[in-house]
Amino acid sequence: MIKKLFQIIALILVVLLSLRLRLDKYSQIPIPGQSVDEYSYSWVGLSLLTTGMPIGNSGISGYENQINKYINIDRYMEVISSDPFAINFPWMDHPPLMGLITGSFAKLKGAISFEDTSTVFIRKPVIYLSTLSVILVIVYCWLNFSYVTALFAGLAYGTTPLVVLSGRMIQAENGIIPCLLLVMIALSLYLKNKRDYWLIIAAIFSGIATLFKLTGVMCYLLTFFTLLNHQRQLQAPWRSWLVFRLLGLYLLRFQP
């Protein structure tokens, strides 16, 4: 019992260290404006919440509606560029879930216009998502390997500088990664006890992953090949795939 308690404490310390590293000067590093997508995602979410239309910056040509606007957010016009932002509407580059998360957080903090979506606000929920990914890495490794593997995997994923920095930025991948890990955990538990609800959970988070970015479809592929690889130990592999696909297809239909 005491050994288990110390193990849990050690894992909690790893998670807290990971969160602390991500929060350290998070609004300054990476430099605000290095990726305009960070602002664009948040503008899309904020505009959807306030006007019902997604409005943001796109690097894709072909938008019929575009206006050029100076938005000196985080001193962007002074430090990074003096050129105006190309604002496109309705913005349809990606599914809107990441923008809704960051835009909602900014709105809760009092953001009214695009100028208010500072990195001080919009990066916070992404940091929590990337810290959740550390927890899920630990859970997956402990479930499938050992406590020692879980401890060192969590420590490596939680403290690697590149992972820490990317875990601060508003990228759809920071939403897809925890969904993918949850699917992997659910599949592991399904293969262990053959309970359909784990397959349903895998389908739900596969669908959610595609609402961040279409590359979230990798969760469907992961499930397909996992079930295919373990078809001999499953009594009715076609039934497992059917349970997953029925719910997965229903969630996928919510793509814009």
Q: How far apart are CA 110 and CA 54, in angstroms?
A: 19
* Residue of higher predicted confidence among 14 and 256: 14
Instruction: Specify the pTM.
Output: 0.88
pLDDT for res 253: 47
Q: What is the mean pLDDT of residues 4-14?
A: 93
E-only strand ranges, the chain: 56-57, 66-69, 85-88
Structure tokens at 79: 């430090």
Contact criterion met (CB below 8 Å) for 170 and 38: yes
pLDDT for res 31: 86
Contact criterion met (CB below 8 Å) for 212 and 176: yes
Q: Give the position of tokens 């001999």.
A: 232
Task: Report DSSP state, residue 56.
Answer: E
The answer, yes or no, to whether residue 240 has pLDDT greater than 60, is no
End-to-end C-alpha distance for the chain, whole angstroms = 50
pLDDT for res 167: 95
* Residue of higher predicted confidence among 233 and 165: 165
- Give 122-157 pLDDT, tens digit per residue: 999 999 999 999 999 999 999 999 999 999 999 999
3-state SS, residue 247: helix
Q: How far apart are CA 59 and CA 40, in angstroms?
A: 10
